[in-house]
Chains A and B, each alone.
Chain A
Amino acid sequence: MKIVVIVRQTPDTEAKIAANSSGNGIDETGLKWILNPFDEFAVEEAVKIKESTGAEVVILGIGPDRALETIRTALAMGGDSAIHIKDENFGATDSYATAKLIASKIKAMGDVDLILAGKKWIDEESGQVAIQVAAELDIPQATIATKVDVDDAAKTVKVQSEIEGGQRIIELNFPALVTAERGLNEPRYASLPGIMKAKKKPLEEVTVDAINLEELGLAQENLGADGSRYKIDNIDIPVINRSLNVLKGGNSDMVESAEVQAAAENLTKLLREEAKII
């Protein structure tokens, strides 16, 4: 069977975020980029399926040049080959156009059984691209998977996920798309030999210009910020502005045993009378 994992690069979670000079995007100088944590679960799952069924794992990423580093990380975890759709405008292109570009490449591969992706990017948190790839390919989807069971012979995949108020298991026929939730697995680290090997694995680089947009029902105008269905007008960096009323002890910062009762009464009173919340 053939599996495609779509992966994306995202700023490190500790990164400090600042608005760029035009105020409608973030300032990327000095940012450290990592493989989106949810995509890591997707790569790990694909590699596990490969280990048990001998499946072929193709890593697919879209983004500027720097995205290659992330694609290599996924290869080092065990992907067999990779496709990098190079889009320097990337990020400003809206989710549906991005999904169409990704789907066109998957369609061209022809024989894909399973597509794995993360549940969302932790930066944009758009939560749309993967599902729209499924819509564009007209294939079934199961999102936020916490357990994935592939039956290669029957060409089906059983997926367990959380629903409001419980859980459910659904079965999809191949080709199918599954998005990964945390808890699906424990992603392995890319080993040093893995990283060395990754550099030699087959990599296809495609520029957006080489993609026949017309066939996708897209025009050049649909890409980039101008073509987006929604525009970012401004970005604010919220300052944390809270009252910081922390009750401390008489002799030290910590409330001592003898003072606990009074502190509990005091906090309850504040929540009731000042915050009016309980």
Chain B
Amino acid sequence: MSEIWVLVDTTADGKVRNVTYEVLTAAVKLKEKNSATVAAVFVGESAGAIEGDLGKYGADKVYKVEDPALNDFNPSAYASALSEAIKKHNPDIILGGNTLQNQDFLPRVSALTSGGLVLDAVDVDISSSSTLSIKRYRYSGKSISGITFHDVKPMIATIRPNTFKAVESSGAGEVIQETAQVPSQENIKVLETKLVPKDRPELTEADKIVSGGRGVASTENFELIFNIADSIGAGAGASRAAVDSGYVPYEMQVGQTGKVVAPNLYIAVGISGSVQHYAGMGSSKVIVAINKDPDAPIFQKCDYGICGDLFEVLPALTEEFKKLS
């Protein structure tokens, strides 16, 4: 029977990332059309007892591709390990979250296995002939393409986080232990890994985001953005103008040359709503804009808004949000 694989993404402390459950949910939907088996696949040093959680979201099997040489993420080593497992088990379809790690090593997997790869899908489906079809944005969100794989196996795709809502379903979570094939890696050394403890959810996975733009006007004023974000447990982002002005670091930038995000709620504060900014947040479910210029383009691209001075609106809105919890 054909298999649909779902790559398991974990945090530094070994917890399965939510995006993995979202992708499992997508895989379970495909499975119903294709009578396939859904297998979660972990590649790394040591998985720990993750099969229970993965089973809860529909994994029939859990492959553990483990090896001490996979302690630090290294794209060549991970690509070899996964590619060997693919050649052994021949899955038809491989899905993963569109995380930095998957973006880094899956192109190599595609090269090593002659598989086809499409990154950052916002929808996946299976056609009658069991080929995978995908929707993805191109041209900075200005177009959306339907793409079908063509005579190729495996068909590999990553899915944008927050696209599917994780839904529990039952799977046996039967563990299958694999030994990884990792060629020695003399050409690449991880010198230092710095995990920065974050006070807020990561942008690419956040359910809600508040972003500030040039209108916020200074690093100190960004406290207003952080405060309102914290009042609803949101991540904090920024426009390029805010980053270029040095108010906040580049990691916070949302847009064509920043992060692409798809939260349920995106609040844009003091952001005019350029094409390039919208490219990074246009697939958010609900967009709220706070801007003092009634003609700001963002007001043509939002669901709700307040036309007013952010320095007056934010403190009042933060108080209202706090009352909710």
Q: Do A and B form a real pair?
A: yes
A residues with a Cβ closer than 8 A to B are: 11, 13-17, 19, 26, 37-38, 94-96, 99, 122-128, 131-132, 134-136, 139-144, 146, 158, 162-173, 176, 182-183, 228-238, 240, 242-249, 253-257, 259-261, 263-265, 267-268, 270-272, 275, 277-278
**Across chains A and B, which 6 residue pairs bring their CB atoms closest together, nearest first?**
A229-B116, A255-B308, A253-B294, A135-B111, A131-B107, A264-B316
- Measured between beta carbons, the chain A residues less than 8 angstroms from B302 are 242, 244, 246
Question: Which chain B residues in 90-119 approach chain A with CB under 8 Å?
Answer: 99-101, 103-104, 107-108, 110-112, 115-119
A268 vs B232: C-alpha distance when bound (angstroms): 11
Closest to B76 in A: A140
Interface segment among B20-28, B33-41, B219-227, B283-291: the answer is B283-291
- Measured between beta carbons, the chain B residues less than 8 angstroms from A253 are 294, 307
B316 touches A261 (CB 8 A): yes
B139 touches A17 (CB 8 A): yes
B residues with a Cβ closer than 8 A to A are: 11-12, 73-76, 79, 99-101, 103-104, 107-108, 110-112, 115-120, 133-134, 137-152, 185-196, 198, 202, 208, 232, 250-251, 253, 256-258, 264-265, 275-276, 282, 285-289, 292, 294, 299-309, 312-313, 316-317, 319-321, 323-324
Residue of B74, B147, B308 touching A231 (CB-CB under 8 A): B147
The answer to whether residues A257 and B305 also contact, given A37-B257, A122-B256 and a CB cut-off of 8 A, is no
A170 vs B202: C-alpha distance when bound (angstroms): 23
- Measured between beta carbons, the chain B residues less than 8 angstroms from A277 are 208, 264-265, 285-286
A182 touches B190 (CB 8 A): no
- A165-B196, A257-B312 given. 14 additional CB < 8 A pairs? A16-B142, A134-B108, A135-B111, A140-B187, A141-B76, A141-B104, A164-B99, A176-B187, A238-B141, A240-B301, A242-B287, A244-B303, A264-B319, A271-B288
Residue of A19, A95, A128, A260 touching B316 (CB-CB under 8 A): A260
Q: Is the interface of B mostly helix, strand, loop or mixed?
A: mixed
The answer to whether residues A172 and B316 also contact, given A141-B75, A278-B265 and a CB cut-off of 8 A, is no
A230 touches B116 (CB 8 A): yes
A155 vs B150: C-alpha distance when bound (angstroms): 41
A123 vs B279: C-alpha distance when bound (angstroms): 11
A69 vs B27: C-alpha distance when bound (angstroms): 44
- Measured between beta carbons, the chain B residues less than 8 angstroms from A244 are 299-300, 302-303, 305
A170 touches B324 (CB 8 A): no
B185 CB, min distance to chain A CBs, angstroms: 8
B150 touches A230 (CB 8 A): yes
The answer to whether residues A246 and B307 also contact, given A13-B256, A165-B195 and a CB cut-off of 8 A, is yes
The answer to whether residues A17 and B143 also contact, given A165-B202, A230-B150, A254-B307 and a CB cut-off of 8 A, is yes
B292 touches A254 (CB 8 A): yes
Q: Could you write out 19 A-B pairs with CB less than 8 Å apart?
A: A13-B256, A26-B143, A38-B257, A128-B110, A135-B107, A140-B188, A166-B193, A169-B192, A170-B189, A171-B188, A230-B152, A236-B145, A238-B142, A240-B282, A246-B299, A246-B302, A247-B304, A265-B320, A268-B323
B294 CB, min distance to chain A CBs, angstroms: 4
Residue of A172, A232, A242 touching B146 (CB-CB under 8 A): A232
Residue of A127, A135, A245, A246 touching B119 (CB-CB under 8 A): A127
A173 vs B103: C-alpha distance when bound (angstroms): 22
A166 touches B188 (CB 8 A): no
A13 vs B280: C-alpha distance when bound (angstroms): 13
- Measured between beta carbons, the chain B residues less than 8 angstroms from A166 are 12, 193-196
- Measured between beta carbons, the chain B residues less than 8 angstroms from A140 are 76, 185, 187-188
Residue of A162, A169, A246 touching B306 (CB-CB under 8 A): A246
Closest to B234 in A: A278
Q: Which of B151, B292, B317 has the most CB of A within 10 A?
A: B317
B140 touches A13 (CB 8 A): yes
